[in-house]
Structure 1
Amino acid sequence: MSEYTLVISPDQRVTGLVRKLKKRLQERLGRNYGSVNSLGHITLIYFLAHDEDYPLILEEFKRVLAGLAPFKVGLSGFDAFTDRPECVFYVKPDDDSADRVLAQCKEIGTNFSKFLRRNYTDKWDIVARKSPHMTVGRDLTKLEIEECRALFTESFIESFQCNSFVIHKLNEERGQYDVIDAIPLLGHEYMVGQQMRLF
């Protein structure tokens, strides 16, 4: 089985800003760390699937996501997860955006075919239901989190328009995720209704 994630990817400008944050942290810590080379994103859903079943899953995501409308994502500073030995330093969405992301994840969970999820995926985890975030660095120590807080003292207030969700697949050779599909948010609520399920 392969590892897949459904994510929100920012526009090129915000992606570039997050890349600069990662580079600054790499120079400060003097080492590579988890996610140092990955493009900025907010992970929504993690799942496992066989490659031959992916086209079915992709079509279902297209059907469900067609019912979601594009929306603005606001980013409002930094925070960290320090409740585990491997800590995470991240850019946080503002409260309205976090609520919107949580609502989108709930809608996907409600409308995605239970049959497909049960029979064609494994370890389906709605990651963003805990706390939506855009990782700057992971696998950090608590001491390194303090280094992050000392380094990033500026306010990081940015925003971007989210018109699509993106699917990543883990490239096992590189140990990183590759972008394999972008699925537009069309705002067609009827697409996820019972009428479509009859066909």
Structure 2
Amino acid sequence: MMKKYSVVIYPSQAVIAAIKTMKELLKTKIDWYSSCNSVAHITICEFSLSESEIDKVKQKLFKVCDTFTPFQVSLDHFGAYENSGAFFIAPHENSKKELKPIMKKTQETLRSLKLKKSDDPHLSIGRKLTPENLKIASQLFTTIDLDFLCCEIVLRELDPIKKQFFVIDTFSFNGNEVAEFVQGSLF
């Protein structure tokens, strides 16, 4: 059976709680909106796959995450994608420079799958907002200063009934060197 999966970075529990409070505040101003109930995350990619093949994906994610080294992420401003109605928290430029290679290497590791990729790291507050609701969000939230240790990637599966993703596995950043294959000589 085909299932939908996503590969994401979760911030710390404290940041998740802070963003949940922000989402609840926005909900009191504009009512229900897309992603108002989703747990704060930075999307790396999404894909659909047969349940029987997910173990291969887990092995690939374990292998690539084993080479990543944990680093601090600073979230310091808000932004919007007006064409899709998304309002989000964005990382500081230095954090973005560290997040992008993690996202790219993870996507390359899973390139055999048909991926829906994200190449701009951000944490959505709301998606599919009307222009009016985007304006309300940008007036409601003007300053932000959060940070967390990025030390793992999370694999989630979509619950088709609740229409929410739930965690099925976590892959830690262990900072191990990639073993380079060296061509030996027989003579």
What TM-score comes out, normalization by structure 1 length? 0.86
Cα deviation digits, residues 39-94 of structure 1 (max 9, x gap): 1000012122111100111011101110111111110121111024xx01111111
Distance 2:13 2:155 in 1: 17
Say yes or no: does 1:159 pair with 2:157.
no
- SS in structure 1 opposite 2:126? strand
Does the Cα contact within 8 Å between 2:44 and 2:107 map onto a contact in 1?
no
Question: For 1:1-199, what aligned pairs fall within 5 Å after superposition?
Answer: 1-29=2-30, 31-84=31-84, 87-110=85-108, 112=109, 117-118=111-112, 121=113, 123-127=114-118, 129=119, 131-153=120-142, 155-190=143-178, 193-194=180-181
Higher helix proportion: 1
- SS in structure 1 opposite 2:39? coil
How far is the alpha carbon of 1:2 from its aligned partner? Answer: 1.2
Distance 2:177 2:122 in 1: 27
Cα deviation digits, residues 11-41 of structure 1 (max 9, x gap): 1111100000000000011x21111111100
Distance 1:28 1:9 in 2: 26
Distance 1:190 1:149 in 2: 43
CA RMSD of aligned residues (A): 1.5
How far is the alpha carbon of 1:109 from its aligned partner? Answer: 3.9
Distance 1:102 1:144 in 2: 29
Which position in structure 1 is the counterpart of 2:185?
Answer: none
CA spacing shift, 1:3–1:194, aligned 2, 3 Å: farther
Q: Which runs of 4+ in 1 moved over 4 A?
A: none
For this pair of structures, how many residues does the alignment match? 181
How far is the alpha carbon of 1:132 from its aligned partner? Answer: 1.0
Does the Cα contact within 8 Å between 2:45 and 2:107 map onto a contact in 1?
no
CA spacing shift, 1:57–1:75, aligned 2, 3 Å: same
Q: Percent identity?
A: 27
Distance 2:139 2:103 in 1: 33
Could you list the runs of 5+ residues in structure 2 that have no partner in the other structure?
183-187
How far is the alpha carbon of 1:165 from its aligned partner? Answer: 0.7
Distance 2:41 2:105 in 1: 20
What TM-score comes out, normalization by structure 2 length? 0.91
Could you list the runs of 5+ residues in structure 1 that have no partner in the other structure?
none
Query: What is the identity, as a one-letter code, of the residue corresponding to 2:65?
Result: L
Distance 2:117 2:86 in 1: 18
